[in-house]
């Protein structure tokens, strides 16, 4: 199967939003994290993320099908990158595509000193995925409610031991 990432534009917002809701609704129902769940966001939030100059929303395209999206955000003054959200339609989950998406994302930004993200601690499959891909728990957690806790992960990039001034952009 052909899988690639393509930068989203504002015209993609509705489609991305629909997939985001489909992907996160089961977790919203399970954890009732109404204030933080991407399933509870608006299409305007997707548009804002698409248009953010310090980040990009990338469509996950699988055999010419829009199967999900990943948002990558970076800090203007560092080479620290943040992934949030990343989602794939339920029919495509559990088939290794998220691993390939993470690899493609990291390859797009080879100068990244670090990659960070958060996921629901109680979602063991998500935690397993990120740990398998080299992400380590930072020790930081945030209780969302009595059912859910966010756990934060970090992965050093290829240039993690360099200072920003050592990198050429």
Report the CATH number that the domain containing residue 96 is assigned in CATH: 3.40.630.30
Integer Cα distance of 19 and 112 in angstroms: 28
Taking the model in full, what pTM does it have? 0.90
The one-digit pLDDT tens for each residue of the chain (169 residues) are 899 999 999 999 999 999 999 999 999 999 999 999 999 999 999 999 999 999 999 999 999 999 999 999 998 777 899 999 999 999 999 999 999 999 999 999 998 999 999 999 999 999 999 999 999 999 999 999 999 999 999 999 865 444 444 434 3
Largest CA distance in the chain: 46
DSSP-assigned letter for residue 69 = E
Q: How many domains does the chain have?
A: 1
Residue ranges of E strands in the chain: 3-7, 55-62, 65-74, 80-88, 114-120, 136-143, 149-156
Q: Residue 95 belongs to what domain range? A: 3-166
Residue 96 φ/ψ region, left for φ over 0, alpha for ψ in the -120 to 50 degree band, beta for the rest: left
């Amino acid at each position: 199967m052909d899988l690639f990432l393509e930068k989203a534009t504002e015209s993609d917002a509705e489609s991305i939003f629909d997939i985001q809701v489909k992907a996160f609704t089961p977790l919203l129902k399970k954890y009732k994290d109404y204030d933080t769940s991407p399933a509870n966001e608006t299409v305007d939030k997707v548009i804002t993320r698409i248009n953010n100059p310090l980040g990009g929303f990338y469509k996950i395209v699988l055999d010419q099908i829009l199967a999900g999206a990943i948002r990558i955000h970076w800090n203007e003054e560092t080479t620290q990158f943040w992934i949030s959200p990343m989602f794939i339609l339920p029919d495509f989950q559990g088939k290794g595509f998220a691993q390939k998406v993470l690899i493609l994302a990291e390859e797009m930004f080879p100068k990244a000193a670090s990659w960070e993200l958060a996921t629901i601690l109680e979602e063991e499959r998500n935690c397993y995925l990120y740990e398998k891909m080299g992400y380590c728990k930072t020790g930081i957690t945030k209780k969302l409610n009595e059912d859910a806790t966010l756990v934060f992960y970090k992965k050093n990039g290829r240039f993690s031991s360099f200072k920003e001034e050592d990198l050429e952009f």
